[in-house]
Amino acid sequence: MSRADSTPTPILVVDDDGDIRAALEMLLQYEGFEVWTARDGREAVARYAREAGGGRRAAVVLSDLKMPGMDGMELLATLRAEPDPPPVIMISGHGDVSTAVEAMQNGAANFLEKPLDDNRVLVTIRKAIREQHLEEENTGLRRQLTDRWTIVGESTATSRLMRQIEQVALSEAAVLITGENGTGKEVVARNLHLLGPRAAGNFVTVNCAAIPHELIESELFGHEKGSFTGAHERRVGHFEAADRGTLFLDEIGDMPLDAQAKVLRALENHEITRVGDSRTIPVDIRVIAATNADLAEAVETKAFRRDLFYRLNVVPLHVPPLAERVEDIGPLARHFLDQIAERTGFSQRDLSGEALARLEGLDYPGNVRQLRNLLEGASVFADGPEVGLDDLEQILAAGPGAASPAAARSAAGADPFGAATFEEFKDASEAAFFRLKLDENEGNIKRTAERLGMQRSHLYKKLDRYDLRG
Ligand SMILES: Nc1ncnc2c1ncn2[C@@H]1O[C@H](COP(=O)(O)OP(=O)(O)OP(=O)(O)O)[C@@H](O)[C@H]1O
Ligand SMILES: [Mg+2]
């Protein structure tokens, strides 16, 4: 608990027995808490509400079970109906332990038995406060995460997709997400996780295209120390890391056939075996896969196992190309401009009507990602409150999409200071930076990512972008 502000933490003590009230008050005040007291449930509710109205909330409510008038159970029910209920610790007398247990089932944080032991009282209160903080932190973090992955769009196709996601998130069914590059497959996968019962668990992404074939088994299932040359330490694989959470198998179409067999076995048996070990370890995961390839066709050409395809494709979700949902372009563009403003600290920019019309008329082989890159580029040129047609034209003139992969690739060998536009400069210097770092680490991508403090998947994207992968 933070002691940064000097206002003491308030605790509401509710008991009809004046001696107990006085004893608790003395103990808690001595420990630096502020103590509010009440003689029964009704008084407690009134006090709680009055203080909350003044902006102060009881950190914990310590309440007797048996009281005349409104008893502890009723008080608990009333407080639980509040928007952010405080933790309630029940005090039970002789013979009403079973009622205390019932109170726990109704949401009490804990219970204490009479006669009260000072030490237990303090330990129980501190534990309740700590848990409450953790819970608040978790909801806060979850909210932030959810914002980060908000699905933006107003087209019929996107609304329909959102409805499907909400339904499918609640089930444990395997989902196969298909769609072109940059359509938002990862965003969909994140939403399935965050809106489902496993939201508090891990979301683990495996980029199947990025793992070298000989390492895929160890990456997925982990390995024991010394199980192969280079296995200096024991390593937990992605399946284990996703236990009780979601495993996202991205670019599943690129998974080698022998790995496919092992993945299928792990999914069917709900257990894995680490490389170099004989024990099986149970794993409880939900699997979501994504691909921009036609997996059904890959099954026909025997590049993808039919049994694994069926196992993954229980619920197919298709993310349509951006060109098929032009109505999304406006909302997406404004969303990206907001994000850019937030990141750069510049004030928010609007999009002029002309610029929007131009955006709506473009082709998007790179889909939403291409739109985002375009706006990144255009906002570099914009100096007013609006991103206008001129700013957009400048970035469009810099090439068939200056931020397109092709332009980026040509930037890979270029001298940054020979660049004509800021975009070209950024690309050329980024490419040079990654080439240097990769060389410093003898081409070892994992180590490079670690030293740069980057997600490996992110580094892979950069390397792909500049065609720097050997
Ligand atoms: N509906 C959406 N709302 C908000 N942002 C989106 C949406 N769709 C995509 N994006 C953004 O566009 C970018 C590309 O999305 P994402 O990475 O999910 O695509 P993808 O289909 O996984 O692409 P790839 O096939 O290249 O891996 C990301 O920055 C993502 O946040
Ligand atoms: Mg992706």
More confident residue, 143 or 10: 10
For the chain, the domain total comes to: 3
Residue 4 banded pLDDT, cuts 50, 70, 90: very low
* Structural domain includes residue 5: no
- Give residues (CB < 6 A) around ligand 1: 151-153, 179, 181-187, 292, 332, 335, 368-369, 372
Question: Do 288 and 186 share a domain, yes or no?
Answer: yes
Q: Are 378 and 239 members of one domain?
A: no
Which among 334, 234, 320 has a CA at the least distance from the CA of 276? Answer: 234
Kindly report, residue by residue over 145-160, the tens digit of the pLDDT.
667 789 999 999 999 9
**Nearest Cα residue to 220 out of 176, 264, 178:** 264
Output the average pLDDT for the chain: 88
Going from the Cα of 210 to the center of ligand 2, the distance in angstroms, rounded, reads 12
Of 145, 169, 196, at which residue does a domain stop? 145
**Degrees, nearest 5: CA angle 307-308-312:** 120
- Among 155, 161, 163, 187, the mutation site with the greatest number of ligand 1 atoms within 8 A of its Cβ is 187
Q: How far apart are CA 303 and CA 313, in angstroms?
A: 16
Question: Is the pLDDT assigned to residue 39 strictly greater than 90?
Answer: yes
Both 116 and 23 in one domain: the answer is: yes
Section 31-44 average pLDDT: 95
Structure tokens at 1: 């608990």
Instruction: Give the domain CATH number at 23.
Output: 3.40.50.2300
The residue whose CA has the least distance to atom 31 of ligand 1 is 187
Question: Atom 8 in ligand 1: which residue has the minimum CA distance?
Answer: 184
Residue 261, domain extent: 153-320
Question: Residue 432's domain is classified under what CATH number?
Answer: 1.10.8.60
Best probe residue, ligand 1, of 155, 159, 325, 369 (max atoms within 8 Å of C-beta): 369
Q: Return the bridge partners of 63, or none.
A: 14, 90
Helix (H, G, I), strand (E, B) or coil at 178: strand
Report the DSSP beta bridge partners of residue 11: 35, 60
Q: 125 and 167: one domain? A: no
- Among residues 145, 174, 195, which one ends one of the domains? 145
Q: Tell me: do 192 and 131 sit in the same domain.
A: no
Gap from CA of 187 to ligand 2 centroid (Å): 8
* pLDDT tens per residue across span 314-360: 999 999 999 999 999 999 999 999 888 877 777 788 999 999 999 99
pTM, rounded to two decimals:
0.62
Residues 35, 36, 39, 45: is their CA dihedral positive or negative?
Answer: negative
- Mutation test residue for ligand 1: of 159, 183, 338, the one with most atoms within 8 Å of CB: 183
